[in-house]
A and B are shown apart, each in its own frame.
Chain A
Amino acid sequence: MTLLKRSNSASDLYVCKVLYRRDRLYSRRTKKPLTIVLGREARMESPLIPQEIREKTKYCFECGVCTASCPMAELLSPQYNPRSVLQQILEDPDRALKSEGLWLCAWCYKCYKRCPQGLKLPEILHTAKQEVAKRGFDASFEKAVSIIEKHIPFPILCWYTCFHPERTGIPNDKIVAMKEKLAGRPKKGKKPTNRQGRAAIIGSGPAGLTAACQLAERGYPVTLFEALPKIGGMLRKSMPAYRLPRKELDNEIQLLKDLGVEIRTSTEVGKDIKFDELWRCGYKVVFVAVGAHTSLKLGIEGEDLDGVIDALNFLWTAKESAKVDITERVGVIGGGNVAIDAARTALRHKAKEVVILYRRSLNEMTANPWEIGEAEKEGVRIEFQVAPKKILKKDGKVAGLECFRVELGELDETGRKRPVPIEGSEFSLQLGTVIVAIGERTETSFLPNEVERDRSNRILVNPVTMETSMTRVFAGGDAVTGPASVIEAILAGKRAAGFMEKYLNETGEREDAHLAS
């Protein structure tokens, strides 16, 4: 049998002359794999993007769920679209590696949690970024930094908590230069508060800070209420100093003070000042961004023993006072960034031996991959597919933890495999301290009943305006979403600020009209 001869078949790449093998085209002559791009141009398989990444991206059906879930896509709309970045990696790797889109992922994993195909976008992009760093295409990085500087509130905080460009292998001098560029960005000084309508913002985490900043910049008088003695919310409370230097946080907060925002620390709304009093104090609009601070309980025997602490409190005391009450052998239960933070912080204190117990596998962990790697390097042991059964007691204190092994069953609603206990797999660990980091819920009992909340106490809001079921009350951040990332909180703050302004304008006009008549 002979193949059709074409007069111009000199090209080895002519489609007629390639063998089809599963999902790849091979050259008939050289027996090497080919890539046909857009059906016209053919060339050798691009070595730029590692094969494993390309393999994964193939299964994207472009449903757009990632982009629609992505807080960065909304903050930067229409400059950033994770779906197209991913597709570009497959279709045109050369361009993809040179695009700034790679650098705009904020590691919130929201896309992964919703992706119907379970693609871990942040990690796919991370590998691509590492490739870029290796090849020195850092122009795209610089471009991304200027986009971040322009459009993202508190860019330097996001640098530390969200973007982590230093983890990609970009040369250090570049990182330092870019960081300085961000720190030295033109600051907005005090704006005259020339607009009508005072805004109260409850909670000074990233959502509250963003909303306060945005409203103050537009000339509204803003008061920020914070229950703790210092502002910063979760950023200050749980983020260890080695991940977010305190100096940087203070610097950014100073900007807020410079804008003229009134800050009332150690003032817990509901306790020091009743929620209803806010209206009497003349606030026209309230933004509730109280976060999620109540640690979830394990619901197992021995949880009230001396020696069981929740991760947030532990991280907070570790930061505030040099002394924490832990023993040499510490177990941390959970698999998120907070668990890793707690484990690493414990090692920086008295702990000699720290073990993290996680009920799923490495693949399902939503902690940043380098955090896991560094924790392991520092000597933290991670036990996968293990769940606690009861906390063992000796002299009224924690003596150990009885656990059982689990196997991973079908996918649950978060797209991760559901752990199923293996019978008879119980074993115990000798521990003096158990740190619980399995998530937090929000505490919103100070709110009036008109503000609707769901079963887990999260505040229900209109997702576009962030308005709650009670007029004049807006909400955002972890209090609405449950524990989530910094960038999601910033987006909520930004969204809310926009619509609070709109609301204030409209009521202002109404009042003006009322007065005029």
Chain B
Amino acid sequence: MPILPADPEITEEARIGVYVCHCGLNIAGTVNCEEVAEFAATLPHVVVAKDHRYTCSDQGQELIKNDIKNSDLNRIVVASCSPRLHELTFRKTCEEAGLNKYLFEMANIREHCSWVHHHDKEAATEKAKDLVRAAVAKATLLESEIETVVPINRKALVIGGGVAGIQAALDLADTGYKVFVVEKQPSIGGRMAQIDKTFPTMDCSICILAPKMSDVGHHPNIELYTNSEVQEVKGYIGNFTVKVLKKPRYITDECSACNDCSEACPIAAPNEFDVGLATRKAIFTPFAQAVPSTYIIDRDLCLNEEGIMTCDKCIEACERQAIDFDMKPETIELQVGTIVVATGAEVSDPTRFTNYGYTRYPNVITSLEFERLINAGGPSSGNLVRPSDMKIPKTVAFIQCVGSRSKKGNPYCSNVCCMNTVKDSLLIKEHWPDVKIYVFYLDMRAFGKGFEDLYRRAKEAGVMFIRGLPAEVVEDPKTHNLWVIGENTLQKEIYKINLDLVILSVGIEPCKDSDAIQRLFTLSRTSDGFFMEAHPKLKPVDAPTGGVFLAGCAESPKDIKDSVTQASAAAARAGILMAQGKVTVEAITPKPILENCRICGMCAQVCPYNAIVVDKEAKSVQVIDAACAGCGTCGAECQFEALHMRHFTDNQIRSQIDALTEEDADTKIIAFCCNWCAYAGADFAGVSRIQYPPNVRIIRTMCSGRVSSTFIEHAFARGAGAVLVAGCHPGDCHYIDANYQTQRRVERLWKKMARLDVDTDRLQLLWASAAEGERIATKIREMQSVLAKLKPEGVEKATKAFEGR
């Protein structure tokens, strides 16, 4: 048995106060809180044990503060909701009562217990007791810590130059901070620049956006990088180092945007800005109001290849000699304190819904194509023409929910399509009042300010709203008119309507490069693919990664007003951090215990942040606190227990395992969940009230990489029925790649178990994101069969095999 390092400086005897929260009926409806409190009172070191209706309320906090003073408590345990929700609140309470905030521990008996075991009150109560027992055991070993203060760089980075990015950048710049804006496209403006009018006020979209775009271009505090992409992000809250790849435009600042080059250019291709309805040249400007107002050469199209000049028409045409084919991509390194992610979204591609015939039939178009057709600056100069014969249609239909609210497309509602269609139908009516318009809908959602009025106006204008989605759109081969066939579900009649033009009201999808962005900033995504906020109600614009904020459609589909609102909110949140100028870093970094250390360097090898410096010659190990993120994978790797992982020490975790395996261990699943994905996923299961068997006991670590194989072995030695290690999906780890270490450790342990003839099914590994509550619940349900086939001899064998671990 390895010698456990004594936890330093536990000098005073622990005096613990336990508070069991009813949370109204949220917990008390399932868990007998009085019984749990009575049980807590019997635990060692517990001096005070109380239950309270709302512990997080002022009264509840007051109660804790008074008890700390009156009963001389030096450790506090609150059994209530998830620490991801209220740990901060209660830590503050402790601090206010003069207790170090690291002497506080939470037992999650709401998300992980009462909400997920509605139907088994007894088992839920027993589980709550176990969780309290584990929290008390850990609390006994807690130590006071002093947090490191990190300065915040007062510069911000905004990724994405759509309306959300523009707003966030302007707000931050106006507050006085330096802002860098990185945009992938040659111009800022995003989707809003493509749209003709905005709902519900029918303002001209580009007319209200263009001044803002120009402000961004000229603001002294804003540095704009268009045609650029973020390549690498390093660092942490307040101190990010971002590498931006600035792709060459092949046009110098001399350009006066006179268009002579474009006229001379012999190459034409579909124009992305007009969704392929018009053409552009190989040297082009995306649209008239583009910012920066300059040209760009599309080298994929241009005849000139690297080093070989075959065409010089543009060079000849350019009087100011602004064309430079020798421009090279540049990598720029930016030092920023906060980041706003406003990468936007894409419209969904309806080609896969073959029954609507998009791309097969020329007169079936998408709503974005419609925007370009109806726009006076668009390819048809504002004439809504149907592609087959360029005539103004007499009958038009909109089909709603194409790609939304469906198992075959995206399951979510795309939020803007209903009102967009209402606006579009009014636009048609405004220009050509005689056009007959049908809107085939599933539900019309006109929920916002002024939306219902607009809907009424459309009804007033004579737009026909028919409830029932078309089953198919078929072209009449003679006329290229379209037959739309569906059921009018309110009339219970099948309609077959002949139309000149069909507009598919397509939904909004996450960007295709969301994956890359997610990795760069270690963000989470919901099952829909949009970035997840830190808390859906209370931190709606904060990303789970500190110092990163979300704005616009990257977070969820939303309209312009909501995007702007959210952008301002994100700017304000980033501004708060930068105004404070410093942030404290959680004291969860490791401290080397030199007397145990053999200077083997394993810890430095597994550290994802290179935050440990091992000098074999000088026999020194040093942890760089500012670089360390506290994942703890070094602590798990160290064979000699020579790293003291603050707040998640080996002894603390072992004490939790001991507490949880004290009774009926063989019927229980000990689950180690990482704070960011698996633990949050289990919280999400709670919030969604997904029910699963109550015999699982979750222990929280910051990263699954903290789970040392000795912990798992210890659990088996204590007779645990099964062990689950759960972390983020590979590639999604919040500590870069620490979860690969988890996988390696678990795989090694599986081999060891097989060698020792212990059923390997008893140890399971699960990757689950913060949105995959159901996945976690399913895994726990599946693991019941492992427990069911478990025999006492099997438990004993494992106990013996791993004894002493």
Contacts and interface: CB of A to CB of B under 8 A. Distances in A.
Interface of A: 21-22, 61-69, 73-74, 77-78, 81, 83-84, 114, 116-118, 411-413, 415, 452, 454, 460-464, 467-469
B344 interface: no
Interface string B390-409: 00000000000100011111
B492 A65 contact: no
A461 B477 contact: yes
A411 B496 contact: no
A116 B118 contact: no
A205 to B, nearest CB: 21
Contacts of A114: 355, 471-472
A91 B118 CA distance: 26
Contact of B469 (A116, A413, A452, A464): A116
Contacts of B488: 64
A22 B469 contact: no
A64 B466 CA distance: 11
B381 interface: no
A12 B469 CA distance: 41
Contact of A469 (B442, B478, B489): B478
B529 to A, nearest CB: 12
- 10 tightest A-B CB contacts, nearest first: A64-B487, A116-B406, A68-B471, A64-B468, A469-B477, A463-B474, A460-B477, A63-B469, A67-B487, A64-B489
A65 B469 contact: yes
Contacts of A21: 118
Contact of A61 (B118, B442, B483): B442
A411 B407 CA distance: 8
Interface of B: 118, 352-355, 360, 401, 405-409, 442-443, 467-472, 474-478, 483, 485-489, 492-496, 498, 689
Given A64-B486, A67-B487, A78 B476 contact: no
A68 B485 contact: yes
Contacts of B494: 67-68, 73-74, 77
B485 A413 contact: no
A108 to B, nearest CB: 13
Nearest to A416: B408
B469 A118 contact: no
A122 B405 CA distance: 22
Contacts of A117: 406-407
Contact of A65 (B354, B476, B486, B495): B486
A78 B498 CA distance: 21
Given A413-B353, A468-B477, A84 B406 contact: no
Contacts of A411: 407-408
Contacts of B467: 64
A83 B354 CA distance: 22
A117 B401 CA distance: 12
Given A65-B486, A117-B407, A454 B360 contact: yes
Nearest to A21: B118
A69 B469 CA distance: 11
A495 B485 CA distance: 15
Contacts of A469: 477-478
A61 B469 CA distance: 10
A80 to B, nearest CB: 11
Contacts of A69: 471-472
Nearest to A116: B406
A454 B354 CA distance: 13
Contacts of B493: 78
B527 to A, nearest CB: 13
A68 B468 contact: yes
Contacts of A468: 477
Contacts of B489: 62-64, 67, 83
B22 to A, nearest CB: 11
5 contacts: A62-B489, A78-B493, A412-B352, A461-B477, A464-B483
B34 to A, nearest CB: 15
Contact of B405 (A74, A83, A116, A415): A116
A42 to B, nearest CB: 21
A411 to B, nearest CB: 5
B62 to A, nearest CB: 22
A61 B408 CA distance: 14
Nearest to A452: B477
A218 B366 CA distance: 45
Contacts of A454: 360
A246 B443 CA distance: 50
Given A61-B405, A63-B469, A68-B471, 8 more contacts: A69-B471, A81-B492, A116-B407, A460-B477, A463-B472, A463-B483, A464-B483, A469-B477
A1 to B, nearest CB: 8
Contact of A116 (B352, B408, B475, B478): B408
Nearest to B25: A1
Given A68-B470, A116-B406, A116-B408, A83 B487 contact: yes
Nearest to B494: A68
A21 B29 CA distance: 12
B474 A118 contact: no
A4 to B, nearest CB: 16
Contacts of A413: 352-354, 408
Nearest to B407: A118
Most chain B beta-carbon contacts within 10 A, residue among A64, A81, A84: A64
B494 to A, nearest CB: 6
A411 B403 CA distance: 12
Contacts of A460: 475, 477
B486 A116 contact: no
Contacts of B474: 462-463
Nearest to B466: A64
Contact of A68 (B352, B476, B487): B487
A61 B404 CA distance: 12
A460 B492 CA distance: 28
A411 B352 CA distance: 10
A349 B25 CA distance: 69
Contacts of B408: 116, 118, 411, 413, 415
Contacts of B401: 63, 116
Contacts of B495: 68
A472 to B, nearest CB: 12
B49 to A, nearest CB: 23
Contacts of B442: 61, 63
A462 B405 CA distance: 30
A463 to B, nearest CB: 4
B358 to A, nearest CB: 11
Given A22-B689, A64-B468, A463 B496 contact: yes
A18 to B, nearest CB: 14
B483 A462 contact: yes
Contacts of A452: 477
Most chain B beta-carbon contacts within 10 A, residue among A61, A65, A413: A65
B319 to A, nearest CB: 50
A257 to B, nearest CB: 34
Contact of B477 (A62, A74, A462): A462
A118 B406 CA distance: 8
A73 B492 CA distance: 11
B781 to A, nearest CB: 16
Contacts of A415: 407-408
A78 B492 contact: yes
A374 B301 CA distance: 59
Nearest to A1: B25
Contact of B409 (A62, A116, A463): A116
Given A64-B468, A116-B409, A463 B492 contact: no
Most chain B beta-carbon contacts within 10 A, residue among A67, A81, A461: A67
B468 A63 contact: yes
Contacts of A73: 487, 494
Most chain A beta-carbon contacts within 10 A, residue among B352, B406, B409, B471: B471
Contacts of A463: 472, 474, 483, 485, 496
B492 A84 contact: yes
B441 to A, nearest CB: 9
A161 B286 CA distance: 58
Nearest to A73: B494
